[in-house]
Amino acid sequence: MQPTPRIEGIVETILYVDDLERAVAFYRDVLGLTAQGGDRERFAVFNPGGRQVLLLFRRGATLVPTAVPGGIIPPHDGHGPHHIGFAITHESYEPWKEKLASAGVAIEGETHWPRGGRSLYFRDPDGHLLELITPGIWPNY
């Protein structure tokens, strides 16, 4: 009997950006994410931890099917201001506030959650709402 298929997590989380170079600089220099591929025209790939990737696509560059050696990637695209939440430790909450302040990134909001977690909200250069979240917000985080 075949196994019942199941999802094993989210691998690819995506944002669409107007200026790929500007976005790459922000995610690399301000958020400290490690670049691990992509090109300078269509997309950039970051490793935010574990088995996950954050893909930044240049808006409008993926509106038609993209041929790759092993097949075709169907079209996709998006307009924001989208929202993504990143995990941080409790201990790094205040250091993150200082890091963002020193980078000239305005804090747009902070939230305390009933489970004990805290969230810090700010914008990336495209206006996407980013959130840094300490554990204690969802049943599994």
Footprint of a copy of itself on 26-85 (CB under 8 A): 31-33, 36-37, 45, 47-55, 57, 62, 65, 68-85
CA dihedral 109, 117, 78, 35 (to 10 degrees): 100
| Distance separating alpha carbons of residues 141 and 133, to the nearest angstrom | 9
Closest CB 122 distance from a copy of itself, rounded Å: 9
| Distance separating alpha carbons of residues 75 and 16, to the nearest angstrom | 13
Question: Which stretch of DSSP H or E encloses residue 67?
Answer: strand 66-68
Closest CB 137 distance from a copy of itself, rounded Å: 8
Interface residue with a copy of itself, options 13, 28, 61, 125 (CB under 8 A): 13
Interface residue with a copy of itself, options 40, 64, 89, 90 (CB under 8 A): 89
Q: Which two tokens stand for residue 9?
A: 């997590």
| Distance separating alpha carbons of residues 75 and 61, to the nearest angstrom | 9
Q: Which is nearer to a copy of itself, 58 or 128 (CB)?
A: 128
Closest CB 42 distance from a copy of itself, rounded Å: 13
Question: What is residue 103's three-state secondary structure?
Answer: coil
Closest CB 132 distance from a copy of itself, rounded Å: 8
121 binding a copy of itself? (CB under 8 A):
yes
